[in-house]
Amino acid sequence: MNPLYRHLPLLVTVLLAAAALIHGPILQPVGYHDFADQQMRFGVPHFADVVSNLGFALVALWGWKKLAPAREHAAVRSGWAGYRLFLIGLFLTALGSSWFHLAPDNARLVWDRLPISLACGGLLAGVWGDIRNKDCREFAAWLALTGVVSVSWWAFTDRSGTGDLRPYLLLQALPILLIPLWHWQHQVPAADRLAFGGALALYVVAKLTELGDHEIAALAGIVTGHTLKHLLASVAAALIVGRLVRRVQEPRRERPGTALSNPPARASITAASRPLSAQ
């Protein structure tokens, strides 16, 4: 493999990090907490923004129920540590985001962003383990730590009035860029590329609806942009989990090198069953 081609993911990561350093601090938009959903229902403020987080919990529980018992299956074994972190991050996102949207402020926002960073790191580690057929526990641990540091950096700098989001945004951007690149380099099955690629594209759309929170609310009337973001991101997560579940439900495939372990025995049986005249 061409060295440049092989190290392209590393090059993309370095260039993105360098661009973030050159750009300087990325601040949270003024009025970030002024969400379009101001409705109170059943005593719950910002009802739709809160309840729409339920999708993350449902996808996480579904994934855990189907994948945890099959964690030693060859289709997910290498990436399980990452996918486990992804599922945990999803479930905690449902809790943290709901808590944040009940009374939005920066103190609560930490508990929204922290599990999102864990989910992003977990997904990245899981796919890395898949394509390399290598246990990703150590990589998942490092990415989990990176996620905690990225949100802590934002919270720390926010106290001084800067609120630098660069590390947090970088961790969100890397799965979107690196996963399709890895899949292309390693020629993974088309079903994986479609599921993961579709999920990542849908997540990008979800982020765009977040930016158009008030505009979508004014246009649609029945849903706000931020609520729609939660719903689309939940569907994106479901696409990934659904593909992983499908993997472990498919017939177990022989590992390379094991497929030829039995033919000699079968050949000898066949030979023994032939008439002597034919031998």
Which fold does the domain 37-250 belong to in CATH? Rhopdopsin 7-helix transmembrane proteins (1.20.1070)
Determine the distance from the C-alpha atom of residue 238 to the mean position of all C-alpha atoms in its chain, rounded to a whole number. Answer: 10
Q: Cβ distance 112 to 96 under 8 Å?
A: yes
- The pLDDT confidence band at residue 220, using thresholds 50, 70 and 90, is confident
Top pLDDT among 263 and 63 is at 63
Look at residue 44 and give its three-state secondary structure: strand
pLDDT greater than 60 at residue 138: yes
- Look at residues 124, 26, 29 and name the one whose alpha carbon lies nearest to residue 79: 124
Determine the distance from the C-alpha atom of residue 267 to the mean position of all C-alpha atoms in its chain, rounded to a whole number. Answer: 47
**Model pTM above 0.75:** yes
- Look at residues 188, 180, 125, 117 and name the one whose alpha carbon lies nearest to residue 153: 117
The top-scoring range by mean pLDDT among 74-78, 219-223, 273-277 is: 74-78
**Alpha carbons 91 and 234: distance in angstroms, whole number:** 11
User: How high is the pLDDT of residue 261?
Assistant: 37
Top pLDDT among 83 and 266 is at 83
Could you count the other beta carbons within 10 Å of the beta carbon of residue 158?
Answer: 18
Could you count the other beta carbons within 10 Å of the beta carbon of residue 199?
Answer: 23
pLDDT greater than 80 at residue 269: no
- The pLDDT confidence band at residue 251, using thresholds 50, 70 and 90, is confident
- Look at residues 83, 117, 59 and name the one whose alpha carbon lies nearest to residue 244: 83
User: How high is the pLDDT of residue 161?
Assistant: 85
pLDDT greater than 80 at residue 274: no
Average pLDDT of the residues in 229-247: 97
- The pLDDT confidence band at residue 263, using thresholds 50, 70 and 90, is very low
pLDDT digits (tens, 9 = 90+) for 147-201: 999 999 999 999 988 899 999 999 999 999 999 999 999 999 999 999 999 999 9
- The pLDDT confidence band at residue 259, using thresholds 50, 70 and 90, is very low
Residue 105's φ and ψ, nearest 5 degrees, are -160, 170
Q: Cβ distance 181 to 173 under 8 Å?
A: no
| Domain boundary assignment for the chain | 37-250
pLDDT greater than 50 at residue 256: no
Return mean pLDDT, the chain.
89
- The pLDDT confidence band at residue 252, using thresholds 50, 70 and 90, is low
pLDDT digits (tens, 9 = 90+) for 188-203: 999 999 999 999 999 9
Residue 27's contacts (CB-CB under 8 Å, 6 or more residues apart) are 162, 163, 164, 165
pLDDT digits (tens, 9 = 90+) for 113-131: 999 999 999 999 999 999 9
User: How high is the pLDDT of residue 1?
Assistant: 60
